[in-house]
Amino acid sequence: MRDPFSLGQPLLRLVLSVTTSESATLTILSVISVIDDDASVRAATNNLLRSHGYTVRTFASAEEFLQSAHLNDTSCVIADVQMSVMSGPELMTVMRGQGYLVPFIFITAFPDETVRARALSAGAIGFLAKPFAGPTLTNCLATALQGHRGRAGE
């Protein structure tokens, strides 16, 4: 008896190939650093972005990220707004002060219009409330990378 799922395999490969080739211009050399003190958010965001072909690095805190060897190869930072020692907006300020101009996308479980307005006026590309839809994040990320293509580590 034939495996009923074997017929779907070539189709699945074709769909994955098309999806990969369409986003290849955005994902080649795109290293996304995800910084969130919630392990489940890091894991879910990691899985989502890897499924779209991105290389993802995850960090439990802003300090861990700043001490890592990945500042220069990061193409975009996705950071939680509220973390215990250093917040996402504080991280962006520190990085800008050190000359790193990579785009930032903020995610938060506590959306506040004042914080959102400040983050966007300081140069953040996006400000998303948790839980957010996968396409919302990937579209925001595509916008960030389009505007920053080829300038990792800047």
What are the domain boundaries of the chain?
28-147
Domain 28-147 of CATH type 1.10.357.10? no
Write the CA distances from 5 to 1, 9, 10, 18, integer angstroms.
12, 7, 10, 20
Output the pTM of the full model.
0.78
Q: At 25, is the pLDDT very low, low, confident or very high (cuts 50, 70, 90)?
A: very low
Q: At 145, is the pLDDT very low, low, confident or very high (cuts 50, 70, 90)?
A: very high
In residues, how long is the chain?
Answer: 154
Write the CA distances from 83 to 87, 89, 90, 97, integer angstroms.
5, 10, 10, 20
Q: What is the percent of the chain with per-residue pLDDT over 90, rounded to a whole number?
A: 73
